[in-house]
Chains A and B, each alone.
Chain A
Amino acid sequence: MSDAVPPSHVTRRSLLVGGAAVAGVAEFVSPTALVASGPPSGDTSTPSTETRLKINGTELRLALDPRVTLLDALREHVGLTGTKKGCDHGQCGACTVIVNGHRINSCLTLAVMHDGDEVTTIEGLGSPDKLHPMQAAFVRHDGFQCGYCTPGQICSSIAMLDEIAQGIPSHATQDLHHIAFSDEEVRERMSGNICRCAAYPNIIAAIRDVHGEVA
């Protein structure tokens, strides 16, 4: 399906998926390389559309079937599998990424709609050696059990604190003009991220911790 060069470092993930759909993680794709990939279904009747995406700081040019969601582009075409596919219908939030500073469900948007956009995924937030403060807080507070929803929870949490800082109200906001940070605000604002293991109390503790650090 893909003739792209596989990543030179082999991870458990790349072994599992083999070379089938991995076009190389972002760092291995030259910024000007055109990554051509067929649609997931193998149907090549739809002409592909060129789309430029800046993913975690790296500019990529992708030739995509217009049916490819941003989520599938990240996972299947760019090889960034940190972003998870849960329901694929915008209900669970596992696919949450940050686009131009806003958190969105990457499963409910087409990659071709994001020409020129800046996408931040869990891979772009921190590294194992240098965790993002929110990643560190999730570890510290045990804000997960199975971990499947965690990349979405963390991307969502970071953007959510930014929304509060910008004065964007929520359903839990008493005074539209003054947001008082509270567990209720966090619960309401994070309702688009489901955790099947119900690690919610620890997720809230992690978010509260990071909010305290930056406040």
Chain B
Amino acid sequence: MRAFTYERAENPQEAAAAVARSPGAKFIAGGTNLLDLMKLDIERPTHLVDVNRIGLDQIEPTAEGGLRIGALVRNTALAAHPLIMRDYPVLSRALVAGASAQLRNKATTAGNLLQRSRCPYFYDTSKPCNKRQPGSGCAAIDGFSRNLAILGVSDQCISQHPSDMAVALRLLDAAVETVMPGGQTRAIPVGDFHTLPGTTPHIENVLRHGEFITGVTLPPPLGGTQVYRKIRDRASYAFATVSVAMIQAPGGRRWAFGGIGTKPWRVAEADHVADAHGIADIVLAGARPTAQNRFKLTVTRRAIAAALAEA
């Protein structure tokens, strides 16, 4: 691992300012993804700002009737929180479908949103990857692409977004709250938070350097039946081939998808369609699969039908 300097931040604004001071600086919270990538020389921060003692580890009601999840709430604590299990069960289900118990105990809400690609070529530093090395090319498009994205892809990148949690947050219309180094704050809808690869696959979200996530807010609960169905190569501790998040509530139905998109995927038009094939036709309309991951079209169709049957 390359050398870096290290400091412990006391509060969010101090953390934001500390990272803003140095172009090579990064926040570290759970560290489960960042340290993995640093060991592989994929992430190369020159300075780490440890935000683990910053607080922001509570889940509290908002004035609007929803919940505010502190950025440092660990994935296990979020999944097991009584109000999340009762009012947002799809979020609990998505969380426990991801990673291992050890990782969920460490990984944070904000860190989960910021986790990076699991494309095999992003990890293989001997191969070109536009996400890791802008302009170097994409080895995945003609390579081992079985588990990669079919929606939102570009000629430069077909990496799927790996998070389960983010799919549930997308379904729930959550918002990401941040603080800038100067102290200004903003709220970013989760749907606008992650960016499509386009010609800049190395840019994965709209955060500016030093902008610090303080929490995630959930709108008032929708109730109804909530489903998270994950199809993967191994029954546990594997990334999604296809995942489907769905809420069937008195106010209507809505869908979000993981494993198939370059970001957590949602097509609002599909929410008004009744039958599984009609929903799939709309969701998969712009799909650009490779020969290896074309099967995801069929798996998605079946996952939608299965979710409808389960609800």
Enumerate chain A interface residues (CB-CB to B < 8 A): 43, 45-47, 49, 66-67, 69, 88-90, 93, 96, 102-105, 108-110, 112-113, 115, 156, 160, 163, 166-171, 173, 176-177, 187-192
Which residues from B are CB-within-8-Å of A90? 32, 36, 100, 102-103
| A-binding residues in B (CB < 8 A) | 1, 3-6, 8, 28, 30-32, 35-36, 39, 48, 50, 52, 74, 76, 79-80, 85-86, 89, 92-93, 96-97, 99-103, 105-106, 235-237
| Distance, CA A45 to CA B1, complexed state (A) | 13
Query: Do B48 and A66 touch (CB < 8 A)?
Result: yes
Given known A-B contacts A90-B36, A170-B101, A171-B96, A105 and B4 have beta carbons under 8 A apart = no
In the bound complex, residues from chain B placing their C-beta under 8 Å from that of A171 are 93, 96-97, 236
Q: Would A104 and B39 count as touching, CB distance under 8 A?
A: no
Within 8 Å by CB of B102, from A69, A88, A105, A113, lies A105
A47 partner residues in chain B, CB cutoff 8 A: 5
The interface residues of chain A lying within 8 Å CB-to-CB of B1 are 67
Complex: chain A residue closest to B164, CB-CB? A171
Q: Which residues of chain A have C-beta atoms less than 8 A from B80's C-beta?
A: 166-169
* Contact between A192 and B35, CB atoms less than 8 A apart: no
Instruction: List chain A residues, Cβ under 8 A from B89.
Output: 176
- Contact between B3 and A163, CB atoms less than 8 A apart: no
Instruction: Tell which of A113, A188, A190, A191 touches B52, judged by Cβ atoms closer than 8 Å.
Output: A113
The 9 closest A-B pairs by CB, nearest first: A192-B100, A191-B236, A66-B6, A168-B80, A191-B237, A102-B105, A46-B3, A176-B85, A192-B102
A109-B31 in contact (CB<8A): yes
Q: Is the CB of B28 within 8 A of A192?
A: no
The complex places the Cα of A112 from the Cα of B8 at a distance, in Å, of: 9
Q: Supply 16 further A-B pairs (C-beta < 8 A) apart from A102-B105, A110-B48.
A: A47-B5, A96-B102, A103-B102, A104-B102, A104-B105, A105-B102, A108-B35, A110-B35, A112-B50, A113-B28, A163-B101, A168-B79, A171-B236, A177-B85, A187-B236, A191-B100
Question: Are B36 and A49 neighbours in the complex by a CB distance under 8 Å?
Answer: no
| Contact residues in B for A49 (Cβ distance below 8 Å) | 6
On chain B, the residues within 8 Å of A173 by CB distance are 96
Residues of B within 8 A of A112 (CB): 6, 50
B86: chain A residues within 8 A (beta carbon): 177
